[in-house]
């Protein structure tokens, strides 16, 4: 096994995800770490947001992560050999007020990683753009669209459900261009 | 009213206040309910950690609101609306009515 100090974000996420699963804790990676993975680190995140739909409890998670060298510091789990850290935001796994129905599994040399799909990753970033008016989140969504197939009809449907049709219309062409340049 | 469901009277107060006024800060909420600041701050922190509310800085004050990204926001608001409907007209007015329009600095009245 590769030492933790040499693992990329994706490799570490897969390693932790696989270890957690082996102990009955099923998690899905969400948030900025997925942007890193889908853009091969053109956007670099350091926090791994794992979401669990049915909570196992902090105590159990702490014990399981201790087995692979992570210790709890405030609300995060850190490892002495890496800058990346793990967080467990409260569930459910959702984008806006909709549950995430399908996830993606990616293989790494360190294990299997379950994460949200590129389309859901774009929706997740757009949610931040819509609600916080955060331009960086829009840029991250566009980066993901540049190197992954995105279901723009689905993004459009979801944006309308969020009451953000006008906002999506304003940026739709940017996504179409990124998909063409893929 | 929702204490047994939410597990804390101060959590109920925080949520009702933020729903009724759209935003608020810890001292303002504590003052309104004539309660200590510390338990209100604790509930604000817990609710923020749970992504139910979010905060932003306004000068030196941390201002909180219900999070538009909370997946149960519509249902939570419906519950809080129902709870507010049990308040007397006077209580509800006290919670909801607050001066929103600007007031020039130094104006005598």
Q: Which residues pair with A77 in a beta bridge?
A: A72, A86
Q: Does the structure show a pLDDT above 70 at B47?
A: yes
Q: Whose CA is closest to A121, among A83, A151, A153, A165?
A: A151
Q: Among B49, B69, B71, whose Cβ lies nearest the Cβ of A92?
A: B71
Q: Report the phi/psi class of residue A70: left, alpha or beta, with left for phi > 0 and alpha for psi in -120 to 50.
A: beta
Interface contact B68-A92, CB threshold 8 A: no
Looking at residue B10, what is its pLDDT?
95
**pLDDT (tens digit per residue) in A41-54:** 889 999 999 999 88
CATH class for the region spanning B3-96: mainly alpha
Looking at residue A122, what is its pLDDT?
98
Interface contact A90-B49, CB threshold 8 A: yes
Looking at residue B100, what is its pLDDT?
63
Cβ within 8 Å of residue A18, ≥6 positions away: A110, A111, A112, A113
Mean pLDDT to the nearest integer, A111-140: 96
**pLDDT (tens digit per residue) in A137-155:** 999 999 999 999 999 999 9
Query: Which of B1 and B32 is assigned the larger pLDDT?
Result: B32
Measured between CB atoms, does B68 come within 8 Å of chain A?
A: yes
CATH class for the region spanning A4-116: alpha beta
Residue B99's pLDDT band, with cuts at 50, 70 and 90, is low
Probe site for chain B from A96, A127, A162, A167 (most B CB atoms < 10 A): A96
Looking at residue A142, what is its pLDDT?
97
- What ranges do the domains of chain A cover? 4-116, 119-180
**What is the average pLDDT score of chain A?**
94
Residue A71's pLDDT band, with cuts at 50, 70 and 90, is very high
The answer to whether the Cα torsion of B80, B81, B82, B87 is positive or negative is positive
ipTM of the complex: 0.73
User: What is the least distance, in Å, from the CA of A144 to any CA of chain B?
Assistant: 21
Measured between CB atoms, does B69 come within 8 Å of chain A?
A: yes
Q: Which residue has the tokens 């009213």?
A: B1
Q: Does the structure show a pLDDT above 80 at B43?
A: yes
């Amino acid at each position: 096994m590769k030492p933790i100090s040499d693992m990329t974000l994706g490799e570490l996420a897969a390693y932790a995800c696989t270890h957690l699963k082996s102990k009955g804790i099923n998690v899905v990676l969400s948030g900025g770490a997925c942007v890193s993975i889908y853009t091969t680190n053109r956007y670099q995140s350091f926090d791994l947001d794992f979401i669990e739909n049915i909570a196992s409890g902090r105590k159990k998670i702490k014990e399981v992560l201790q087995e692979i060298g992570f210790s709890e510091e405030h609300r995060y789990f850190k490892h002495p050999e890496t800058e990346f850290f793990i967080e467990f935001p409260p569930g459910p796994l959702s984008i806006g007020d909709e549950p995430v129905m399908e996830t993606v599994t990616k293989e790494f040399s360190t294990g299997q990683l379950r994460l949200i799909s590129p389309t859901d990753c774009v929706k997740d970033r757009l949610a931040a753009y819509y609600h916080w008016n955060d331009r960086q989140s829009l840029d991250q969504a566009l980066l993901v669209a540049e190197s992954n197939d995105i279901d723009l009809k689905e993004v459009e449907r979801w944006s309308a459900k969020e009451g953000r049709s006008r906002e999506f219309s304003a940026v739709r062409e940017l996504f179409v261009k990124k998909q063409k340049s893929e | 009213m929702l204490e047994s469901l939410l597990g804390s009277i101060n959590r109920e107060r925080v949520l009702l206040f933020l729903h009724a006024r759209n935003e608020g800060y810890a001292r303002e909420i504590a003052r309104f309910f004539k309660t200590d600041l510390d338990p209100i701050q604790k509930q604000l922190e817990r609710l923020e950690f749970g992504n139910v509310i979010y905060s932003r800085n306004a000068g030196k004050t941390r201002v909180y609101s219900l999070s538009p990204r909370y997946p149960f926001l519509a249902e939570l608001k419906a519950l809080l609306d129902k709870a507010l409907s049990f308040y007397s007209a006077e209580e509800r007015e006290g919670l909801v009515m607050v001066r929103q329009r600007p007031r020039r600095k130094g104006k005598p009245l």
